[in-house]
Structure 1
C-alpha cells in the first residue's frame, strides 16, 4: 500500500501527462533523468514549413527536368541516385544541379537577411536590397572582378561592401536607429550612390572586362565564382542556426524597446547581432548571384501571409526565398529559350508590382 506522499507523486505525474496544450499547438513530452520535459509546436507553423519544403522539393525536380535537354522526373531521381545513363547523369549532376544549389542557397540567404532586417527596422520595406546593402556589396565585388588594383576574392569584397553600405546608412540616418522612414531614405540614397559607382567602373574598362563583371550588376546564376557557393552554404547553415537561436528575441524586438527590455532582451546587443547576420548573409549571396534583392522582399511576404503573427517566420521565409529563386531562374532559363533572362531581371519584374502593392495598401502596424 503506497504512502500518502507516494500517492501524491503518482497523481502529480499522471496529471502532468494529461496537460492539454494551448489551442493551435502540439505538445510533446518525455521523461529524462532531470525530470519531465515537454515542447510546444505551433500547428500552423509546422504545416506551413512542411508545405513549403514539399513545394521546394517538387520545384527542384521540375527544375532538373526542364531545359534544352528534357529529362523525365523519374530519370532525374535515378540520376541523383547514380543509376542513370552517362548523358543524363552529366546533364543533371554536372550542369543543372550546381546551378540549382546556387539558386536555393542564394534565395534562402536573401530572404533570411530580408526578414531579419525587416524585423530589426519594424518596416516591411527595410530589405537589404532596398536600403543599399546589395548595391554596396555589388560595387565592391565588381571592383575585384575588373581589377582596380584589388586582388581580393569577390566574396570577401562583397562582405566588405555590404558592411560599408550598412555603416553609411546608419551614419546618414543621424541617430534615428533602424526605425522610421529616415533609415529607409538614407539606405535608398546610399544604394543609388553605389549603383552609380558600379556603372562608372564598368564604363571605364574594356568591353571584355565589363562583360565579365556584368552578372554582378543584374543578378545571374551563370557566373558562379569557384568556392563562393561553398562559402555561402556554410554561412547559410550557420546563419540559419543563429537566427533560430535568436527567434524569441526577434519576436520581442517587434515591440517597443521598453517592452522588449522588460521581457529580458538586451536590445542593443540583439540589434547588433541581427544586423551583422543580415549583412553577412547578403554579402555572401551577392558574391554568388549578384544583387537579386527582390527575393528579400517577396520571400518574407509569402512567409508572413501563410504563417501566424505569433512569431517571426524565420524558417518559412528561408524556404519561401529558396522557392522564389528557383522558380525565377527556371522561368528565366525556359520561357524564352534559347535566350536566357538573368534571374535578377525576372525577380525585378515580379517584385516591382509587389513593392507597389505594399506601398499603396492601407497602412497598418508591422507587428
Structure 2
C-alpha cells in the first residue's frame, strides 16, 4: 500500500510556500486569521489612488465651502471655529448655517451618485440614472403630495421612498418583455418621469401660494434649511445602502456581461437585479426627501468616478466621493455666483449636467459592457 506521509509532507510544504505575487497594478494585503491560516485582499492601485484623490478634493472643497459666502472667513478664523474657538459671529456662520448645509450636500450627492452608478450598471447604459428614468420624479411627486396635504399622514421621506418605488415598479413593469437593459427601458422611464412631473405640477396648481412655496424645494432641488431629522435618516440609509452595494460588488461586475455569462459564473441574476434596484430606490428616495430632484448628480458623479478608477470594477466608493464633491461645488457656486441672490443647487447641476448629457449622447460608445 502506498504511504500517505509523502502527501502530508507535500501539503505542509504547499502551506509554507511563499504567496504568489499580486497581479500587475494591484496591492496585496495579507493577515493571519484568528483561527489559523492567512487571508488576503487585492486592492487596485488606480482605484485606491482615485479614491484618495477624490477624498482630498472633497476635503479641500469643504473647507472652501465653509469659508466663502455672504461673510468671508479667513483660513485662521475658520480653523479656530472648527477646533471649538473663534468669535461668536464666525461660529454662528459656520456651525449653525454652513456646516449642516455642507453635510446635506455630501450626503445627498453621495446617495444620488451611488444610485446612478447602480442603475447604470444594472441597465448597462450610462443614461440609465434615477433622474432620467423617472425615479426622481416619482419621489418628488409623492413628497409634494405629502406637503400640499392630500389627507396623507406620512412624512416627506417616507412618501419619497414610496414614490421612488412606485416609479421603479412601473418602469420595470412596462419593460417586462425587454428586461432592464437597452433603450426601451430608458424610454419607458422617461415617459414615467414625465407623467409624475405632470402630477407634481397639477398638485402645485391646485393649492394656495403659501402651500406651493412650502413644496417648492421638492421641485427644483435645494439644500437651504434642511431638517435635521431628514439628514439623520439619510445618513443611516446611505450607510446601509453603501454596505449593501459593496456586498453586491462582485455581482455588479458580472451584470455588465450577458445574463447567460453571469449565471454561468455563479451569479443569481434575477435576485441580484432586484437587490440592486432596492438599494437604488432607497438612496434616491431618501436623497430626494432632503434635497429634491437633483438628478444630474447621478449622471456626473459616476462618470467622473469611472474615468478615474479601474475599468474592471464598479466604482461604488469613488462614485459616492465624486457625487459629494459635485454637490458641494454646485451648491457653493449657487451661493456665491450671484450673491446675495442664491441659485438652487438643482438649477446649477442642470446647467452643468445638460452639456455633459449631450457629450455622452454624442460619444460613439455608451454601453457599460
Q: When the two structures are superposed, what TM-score results if normalisation uses the length of structure 2? A: 0.95
Structure 1 CA distance, aligned partners of 2:172 and 2:38?
47
Provide the residue aligned with 2:30 in structure 1. Answer: 29
Provide the residue aligned with 1:51 in structure 2. Answer: 53
Aligned with residue 65 of structure 1, among 46, 67, 79: 67
| SS of 2:177 mapped into structure 1 | coil
Structure 2 CA distance, aligned partners of 1:81 and 1:5?
63
CA-to-aligned-CA distance 1:241-284 (integer Å, 9 cap, x gap): 11011111100111010111111111000000000110010000
Provide the residue aligned with 1:334 in structure 2. Answer: 336
How far off is 1:9 after superposition?
7.9
Structure 1 CA distance, aligned partners of 2:201 and 2:6?
82
Counterpart contact for 1:215–1:223, Cα < 8 Å:
no
Aligned with residue 363 of structure 1, among 346, 362, 365: 365
Provide the residue aligned with 1:222 in structure 2. Answer: 224
Q: Number of paired residues?
A: 364
Say what the alpha-carbon RMSD is for the aligned residues: 1.8
Structure 2 CA distance, aligned partners of 1:301 and 1:157?
29
Structure 2 CA distance, aligned partners of 1:238 and 1:75?
36
Provide the residue aligned with 1:184 in structure 2. Answer: 186
Structure 2 CA distance, aligned partners of 1:194 and 1:295?
20
CA-to-aligned-CA distance 1:59-106 (integer Å, 9 cap, x gap): 000000000111122322321221222221111111100000000000
| Structure 2: gaps spanning 5 or more residues | none
Is 1:171 equivalent to 2:173 in the alignment?
yes
Provide the residue aligned with 1:136 in structure 2. Answer: 138
Is 1:110 equivalent to 2:107 in the alignment?
no
Is 1:126 equivalent to 2:128 in the alignment?
yes
Segment of structure 1 superposing worse, 32-41 or 279-288: 32-41
Segment of structure 1 superposing worse, 55-64 or 67-76: 67-76
Counterpart contact for 2:132–2:189, Cα < 8 Å:
yes
Q: When the two structures are superposed, what TM-score results if normalisation uses the length of structure 1? A: 0.95
Provide the residue aligned with 1:275 in structure 2. Answer: 277
How far off is 1:38 after superposition?
1.6
Is 1:20 equivalent to 2:21 in the alignment?
yes
Structure 2 CA distance, aligned partners of 1:81 and 1:304?
36
Counterpart contact for 2:67–2:73, Cα < 8 Å:
yes
Is 1:285 equivalent to 2:287 in the alignment?
yes
Q: 1:7 to 1:81 in 2, by over 3 A?
A: farther
Structure 1 CA distance, aligned partners of 2:350 and 2:245?
27
Structure 2 CA distance, aligned partners of 1:223 and 1:86?
20
| Structure 1: gaps spanning 5 or more residues | none
How far off is 1:309 after superposition?
1.1
Structure 2 CA distance, aligned partners of 1:219 and 1:20?
49
Provide the residue aligned with 1:155 in structure 2. Answer: 157
Counterpart contact for 2:125–2:366, Cα < 8 Å:
no
